[in-house]
């Protein structure tokens, strides 16, 4: 036992050498119990914690060896696109140490994602990053215009119940992404690094981090309690985890259905469906505001989507049967219903019936650790 204070009568029996040993031992004990743990804690609290060769962080990386130069964070985000940047900002604002690794931090220059729907802008407001659409020459968008064979219709977003600032935004996608990255990197506990992730670090079916090459081409490793892959739907990392399944999305489902309806086709029934869709949207009221609210992200209910899609098909059949239902027109109407079913049902199946119609019943994390040699998702 180490003692720093003793009764005066006992001190008289101790030689000066013994007193010196006691004092020195006390100093070392104080250093070992209080000073050293505090220093180590400060190291781990840094965003880019550097770990010594003889030390592992068991709470974060299990039994994997962590070397000098490796980084330890709360969360690793692979990819700094719209989703990755928004995640990094949200987690960083929640005082998480976030390490974002993006293959190319230069401004993207490609034609994609130039329109942010009103529903997307509402999400920016919810996350507190609505200023990311400022200073990028974004133009407000209030609806669509459809042109067909000399006819045209205007479809306005149903924004009556929202604040005047809520609308769509049209912009250069690359500028928007750079603004999102700048927003995330403005937080002191978010580290944004250019690098290419080459593999995930896995132990006993659990992802512990990533191995990546930095901008200089040097290979490094990064560890975190949680790794989020946000590098696109064609990500090789995603394929290495499981067979990807589409996530239920009302907007994507409707967009895919409309694409198939309006694509050029020699099928007479498909052409009738196209005419019916254009005329249905021209009717006004719920026939207009319903589909537009789905496209704009203001109404995410898939049941509304299915109802409107088949309402278009029924409307097309009624058009065919007026003024009188000839056998040819009845046959064409049957083909129209069959064709509509052939468009919407495969899309719903690909999205997942449960994910689309009963999303609350799907756990946030439902993938069991893959069996060795198998990468199929449950």
Burial class from Cβ neighbours inside 10 Å (0-12, 13-18, 19+) for residue 245 reads exposed
What pLDDT digit, counting tens, does each position of 146-163 carry? 888 888 899 999 999 888
- Mean pLDDT of the 316-343 span: 88
Q: Categorise residue 205: left if φ over 0, alpha if ψ from -120 to 50, beta otherwise.
A: left
Inter-residue contact 242 to 375 (CB < 8 Å)? yes
Phi, psi of 265 (to 5 degrees): -150, 150
Residue 378 vs residue 127, higher pLDDT: 127
Tell me the pairing of strands 168-170 and 139-141: antiparallel
Calpha distance 96→31 (Å, rounded): 30
Q: Which residue has the tokens 């205007």?
A: 154
Query: What are 199-216's pLDDT values in tens digits?
Result: 999 888 888 999 999 999
Please give the pLDDT value at position 66.
60
Establish whether the linkage from the previous residue to 323 is cis, with ω within 30° of 0. yes
Sign of the CA dihedral running 45, 47, 53, 58: positive
* pLDDT 10s digits, 343-369: 788 877 776 777 777 767 766 544 444
pLDDT at 250 over 50: yes
pLDDT tens string 108-157? 888 777 889 999 999 999 999 999 999 999 999 999 998 888 888 999 99
Q: For residue 79, give the DSSP letter.
A: -
Does residue 372 have a pLDDT over 70?
no
Whole-number Å distance between alpha carbons of 255 and 277: 13
pLDDT of residue 65 exceeding 70: no
The region of weakest confidence among 239-243, 260-264, 309-313, 348-352 is 239-243
User: 60-245 architecture in CATH?
Assistant: 3-Layer(bba) Sandwich (3.50)
- pLDDT tens-digit readout, 2-54: 333 333 333 343 344 333 433 444 444 444 444 444 444 343 333 333 332 22
Taking CA atoms, 5 is separated from 1, 19, 25, 349, in Å, by 12, 11, 13, 77
Residue given tokens 């990197």 in the structure block:
185
pLDDT in tens, 261-299: 878 778 888 888 888 888 999 998 999 999 899 888 888
Torsion of CA 256, 257, 262, 263, to 10 degrees: 60
Would you say 85 and 183 are in contact if contact means Cβ atoms under 8 Å apart? Answer: yes
- What is the reported pTM? 0.69
Whole-number pLDDT of residue 241: 65
**pLDDT of 167 higher than 50:** yes
**Inter-residue contact 80 to 185 (CB < 8 Å):** no
Q: Are 156 and 292 in contact (CB under 8 A)?
A: yes
Instruction: Identify the band that residue 188 occupies on the pLDDT scale cut at 50, 70 and 90.
Output: very high
Is a pLDDT exceeding 90 seen at residue 62? no
Among residues 74, 76, 109, which one has the least CA distance to residue 95? 74
DSSP-derived letter for residue 65 is -
What integer is the mean pLDDT of 175-200?
95
Given this model, what pLDDT does residue 193 score?
Answer: 95
Contact status, residue 88 vs residue 77, Cβ threshold 8 Å: yes
Distance of CA 10 to the CA centre of its chain: 70
Long-range contacts, 207-215 (Cβ 8 Å, 24+): 208/60, 208/61, 208/62, 208/64, 209/61, 209/64, 209/76, 210/76, 210/78, 210/101, 212/101
Q: What is the largest CA-CA distance in the chain?
A: 122
β-pair type (168-170, 98-102): unpaired
Torsion of CA 231, 235, 240, 245, to 10 degrees: 100
């Amino acid at each position: 036992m180490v003692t720093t204070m003793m009764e005066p009568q006992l001190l008289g029996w101790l030689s000066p050498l013994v007193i010196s040993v006691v004092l020195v031992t006390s100093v070392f004990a104080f250093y070992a119990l209080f000073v050293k743990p505090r220093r180590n804690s400060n190291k781990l609290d840094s965003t880019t914690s550097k770990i010594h060769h003889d030390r592992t962080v068991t709470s974060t990386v299990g039994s994997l060896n962590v070397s000098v130069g490796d980084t330890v964070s709360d969360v690793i985000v692979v990819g700094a696109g719209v989703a990755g940047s928004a995640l990094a900002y949200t987690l960083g604002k929640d005082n998480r140490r976030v390490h974002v690794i993006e293959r190319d931090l230069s401004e993207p220059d490609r034609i994609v994602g130039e329109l942010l729907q009103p529903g997307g802008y509402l999400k920016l407001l919810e996350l507190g990053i609505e200023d990311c659409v400022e200073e990028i020459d974004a133009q407000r968008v209030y609806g669509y215009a459809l042109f067909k064979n000399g006819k045209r219709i205007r479809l306005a977003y149903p924004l009556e119940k929202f604040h005047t600032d809520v609308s769509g935004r049209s912009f250069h996608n690359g500028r928007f992404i750079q603004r999102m990255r700048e927003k995330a990197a403005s937080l002191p506990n978010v580290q944004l690094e250019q690098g290419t992730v080459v593999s995930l670090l896995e132990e006993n079916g659990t992802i512990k981090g990533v191995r990546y090459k930095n901008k200089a081409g040097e290979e490094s490793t990064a560890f975190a309690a949680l790794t989020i892959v946000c590098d696109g739907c064609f990500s090789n990392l995603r394929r290495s985890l499981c067979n990807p399944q589409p996530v239920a999305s009302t907007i994507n489902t409707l967009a895919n259905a409309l694409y198939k309806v309006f694509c050029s086709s020699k099928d007479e029934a498909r052409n009738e469906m196209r005419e019916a869709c254009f005329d249905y949207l021209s009717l006004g009221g719920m026939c207009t505001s319903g589909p537009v609210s789905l496209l704009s992200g203001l109404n995410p209910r898939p049941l509304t989507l299915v109802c409107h899609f088949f309402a278009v098909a029924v409307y097309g059949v009624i058009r065919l049967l007026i003024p009188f239902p000839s056998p040819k027109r009845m046959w064409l109407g049957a083909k129209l219903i069959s064709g509509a079913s052939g468009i919407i049902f495969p899309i719903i199946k690909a999205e997942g019936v449960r994910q689309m119609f009963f999303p609350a019943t799907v756990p946030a994390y439902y993938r069991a650790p893959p069996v060795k040699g198998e990468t199929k998702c449950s």
